[in-house]
């Protein structure tokens, strides 16, 4: 059996912040430990406000903390945001190429990558539209394309489908799984939908309420593409639901 | 369908060209009339107007650069919140109270007029830009960081576009304050310029009517040709 390398290693991570209104220190994460292997798709689920997004931001170094507890190579990391976070002054092409432009990639190479990602996420014909002219699903496609344009080996996703309607979200989930199968990158996704976590992940990490600890880690060994009507699928969803409730 | 859309765009474009041409031609006719009735004063009127405009544009350019740099520095500094009340206090000092001080430092010179106007124009631009940088959506800021907008690239490709709508609105307010400051100091300091042109006894000549008409035209032109297109463009940045 091939041994997979650990690409994210979180050891005894705690995080708290000072509430500016009450001046009280609020503990969010308490002694959280888990690791993620290369090419693995891991989802984090838990009750509202338990710190799911916080841990993703800590991994991405978007929050100040003692980052020694998080072992990760951030040079090949990318991020998909819940509310898309597209730059309103840039069109689809420019948004997708933003990260590459910041890396000072030459225009020719940048155009090649952007064209490739536009085709890959199904945005042909909308290249010159601005974010306010796009539907929610298309906005998130731009968000995913922008993240993929960086050729990441680690992709962090913060509730990427929660701002979308059910049908659009389902279509995008399928597309994302195809992209993940193609590139085999490591994915860490935060979601509040247990069904979504079971459908997409190799492993589901269940967080408890604040101050958060890891309550359970569920291996999802169902074959892909997953039969969402199978008994095993429902059993796994029930098991995780019970842990959260 | 595409023909209809194209046709609509062309119609819209033609209408815009027609309106702009009509406005410009009307202004040219009115301005020519003013020049004709001003007789011997025509040269003095144009020179005064151009001198005041030069002073105003110079003061605006200084204010724009200083306000933008200070706003970006403060919004990214941990001492930023401490500086805001100080700036608020400073901007509340009536600018005309400082004229004797500026005359003492710089004399009755162009530099004095420009620096005095710059200290008035600075505040609206500074506060508008500061507000936009302090209230930028957290996710956008995170996205900029994740995708490598750091250092000067952060300023050029993230902070400046974020601040653009505020720069435009701050500039519009600042420019109107600037006219007031320039004309005020020209009248008080008896310096040359449109302020001095207007500062003649009423009834002796048509200077007041001519000066105010010319000012209205220049203000209208700046508004139509500079601020309106920039305002339209800024809507995209704020979307």
Place of tokens 């991570």: A13
Cα A55 to Cα A169, A193, A199, A216, B234, distances in angstroms? 23, 17, 22, 16, 36
User: Cβ–Cβ of A78/B149 closer than 8 Å?
Assistant: no
Judge contact between B93 and B102, C-beta under 8 A.
no
Name all domains of chain A by residue range, CATH numbers in brackets.
6-90+153-244 (3.40.50.300)
Model confidence at A66: pLDDT above 80: no
Nearest CB to B148 within list A87, A88, A102: A102
Q: How many residues does chain A have?
A: 245
User: Cβ–Cβ of A102/B143 closer than 8 Å?
Assistant: no
Model confidence at B163: pLDDT above 50: yes
Rounded-to-10 torsion of CA A53, A59, A63, A64: 150
User: Cβ–Cβ of B147/A102 closer than 8 Å?
Assistant: yes
Q: How far is A222 from chain B (nearest CA, A)?
A: 33
HSE, side-chain direction, 13 A CA sphere, residue A102: 23
Q: Tell me the sheet residues that pair with A72.
A: A8
Region A13-22: what's the mean pLDDT?
Answer: 86
User: Cβ–Cβ of A103/B142 closer than 8 Å?
Assistant: no
pLDDT at A132 (0 to 100): 94
Collect all residues with Cβ–Cβ distance below 8 Å to B228 and sequence separation of at least 6: none
Residues of A in Cβ contact (< 8 Å) with B144: 87
Which one has a higher pLDDT value, B156 or B29? B156
Q: What is the pLDDT of residues B13-42, one digit of tens each?
A: 677 677 777 777 777 777 777 767 666 677
Extract the tokens encoding B25: 């031609």
Name the helix (H) or strand (E) containing A240.
helix A231-244
Model confidence at A239: pLDDT above 80: yes
Q: Tell me the sheet residues that pair with A186.
A: A154
pLDDT at A79 (0 to 100): 97
Pairwise CA distance, residues A14 & A30, whole Å? 4
Class in CATH terms, B42-238? mainly alpha
Pairwise CA distance, residues A158 & A83, whole Å? 9
pLDDT at B38 (0 to 100): 64
Q: How far is B133 from chain A (nearest CA, A)?
A: 14
Strand residues in chain A grouped as ranges (E)? 6-18, 25-37, 41-45, 70-72, 77-80, 154-158, 186-190, 203-207, 214-219
Residues of A in Cβ contact (< 8 Å) with B239: 88, 130-132
Q: How confident is the model at residue A20 (pLDDT cuts 50, 70, 90)?
A: confident
User: Cβ–Cβ of A102/B161 closer than 8 Å?
Assistant: no
User: Cβ–Cβ of A99/B153 closer than 8 Å?
Assistant: no
Lowest mean pLDDT segment, chosen from A123-127, A143-147, B44-48: B44-48
Judge contact between B169 and B233, C-beta under 8 A.
no
Pairwise CA distance, residues B54 & B217, whole Å? 16
Q: Enumerate chain B positions whose Cβ falls within 8 A of a Cβ in A.
A: 137, 139-140, 142-150, 153, 157-158, 161, 164, 236-239
Q: What is the pLDDT of residues B185-237, one digit of tens each?
A: 998 876 688 988 888 776 666 778 888 888 888 998 899 889 999 999 998 88
In degrees rounded to 5, what are phi and psi of residue A19? -70, 120
The proportion of chain B whose per-residue pLDDT surpasses 90, expressed as a percent, equals 46
Q: What is the pLDDT of residues A193-223, one digit of tens each?
A: 999 999 999 999 999 888 888 999 999 999 9
Name the helix (H) or strand (E) containing B65.
helix B42-75
Q: How far is A112 from chain B (nearest CA, A)?
A: 18
Judge contact between A36 and A62, C-beta under 8 A.
no
Domain limits of chain B?
Answer: 42-238
| Smallest CA–CA distance from B159 into chain A, residue | A87
Q: What is the pLDDT of residues B82-99, one digit of tens each?
A: 888 888 888 888 888 888
Q: How far is B139 from chain A (nearest CA, A)?
A: 6
Region A17-28: what's the mean pLDDT?
Answer: 85
Q: How confident is the model at residue A169 (pLDDT cuts 50, 70, 90)?
A: very high
Q: How far is A86 from chain B (nearest CA, A)?
A: 7
């Amino acid at each position: 059996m091939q041994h997979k390398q650990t690409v994210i290693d979180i050891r005894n991570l705690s995080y708290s912040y000072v509430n500016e209104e009450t001046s009280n220190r609020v503990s969010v994460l308490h002694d959280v430990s888990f690791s993620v292997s290369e090419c693995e798709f891991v989802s984090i689920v838990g009750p509202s406000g338990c710190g799911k997004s916080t841990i993703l931001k800590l991994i991405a170094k978007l929050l100040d903390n003692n980052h020694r507890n998080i072992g990760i190579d951030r040079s090949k990391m990318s991020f998909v945001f819940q509310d898309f976070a597209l730059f309103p002054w840039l069109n689809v092409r420019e948004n997708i190429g933003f990260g590459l432009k910041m890396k000072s990639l030459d225009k020719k190479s940048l155009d090649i990558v952007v064209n490739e990602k536009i085709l890959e996420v199904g945005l042909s014909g909308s290249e010159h539209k601005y974010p306010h002219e796009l539907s929610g699903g298309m906005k998130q496609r731009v968000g995913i394309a922008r993240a993929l344009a960086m050729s990441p080996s680690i992709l962090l996703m913060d509730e990427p489908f929660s701002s979308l309607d059910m049908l659009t979200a389902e279509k995008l989930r399928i597309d994302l799984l195809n992209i993940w199968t193609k590139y085999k990158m490591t994915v860490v996704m935060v979601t509040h939908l247990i069904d979504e976590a079971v459908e997409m992940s190799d492993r589901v990490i269940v967080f408890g309420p604040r101050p958060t600890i890891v309550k359970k880690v569920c291996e999802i060994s169902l074959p892909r593409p997953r039969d969402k009507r199978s008994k095993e699928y429902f059993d796994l969803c029930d098991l995780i639901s019970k842990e959260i409730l | 369908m595409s023909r209809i859309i194209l046709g609509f765009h062309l119609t819209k474009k033609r209408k815009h060209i027609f309106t702009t041409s009509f406005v410009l031609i009307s202004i040219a006719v009115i301005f020519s009339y003013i020049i004709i009735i001003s007789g011997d004063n025509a040269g003095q009127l144009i020179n005064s107007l151009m001198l005041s405009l030069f002073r105003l544009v110079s003061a605006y350019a200084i204010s724009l650069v200083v306000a933008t740099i200070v706003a970006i520095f403060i919004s990214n500094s941990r001492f930023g919140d401490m500086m805001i009340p100080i700036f608020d206090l400073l901007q509340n000092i009536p600018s005309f109270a400082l004229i004797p001080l500026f005359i003492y430092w710089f004399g009755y010179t162009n530099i004095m007029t420009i620096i005095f106007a710059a200290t008035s124009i600075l505040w609206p631009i500074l506060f508008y830009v500061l507000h936009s940088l302090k209230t930028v959506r957290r996710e956008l800021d995170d996205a900029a960081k994740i995708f490598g907008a750091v250092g000067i690239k952060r300023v050029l490709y993230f902070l400046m576009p974020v601040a653009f709508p505020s720069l435009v609105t701050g500039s519009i307010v600042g420019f109107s304050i600037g006219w007031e400051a320039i004309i005020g100091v020209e009248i008080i300091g008896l310096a040359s310029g449109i302020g001095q042109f207007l500062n003649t006894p009423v009834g002796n000549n048509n200077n007041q009517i001519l000066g105010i008409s010319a000012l209205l035209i220049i203000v209208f032109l700046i508004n139509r040709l500079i601020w309106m297109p920039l305002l339209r463009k800024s809507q995209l940045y704020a979307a």
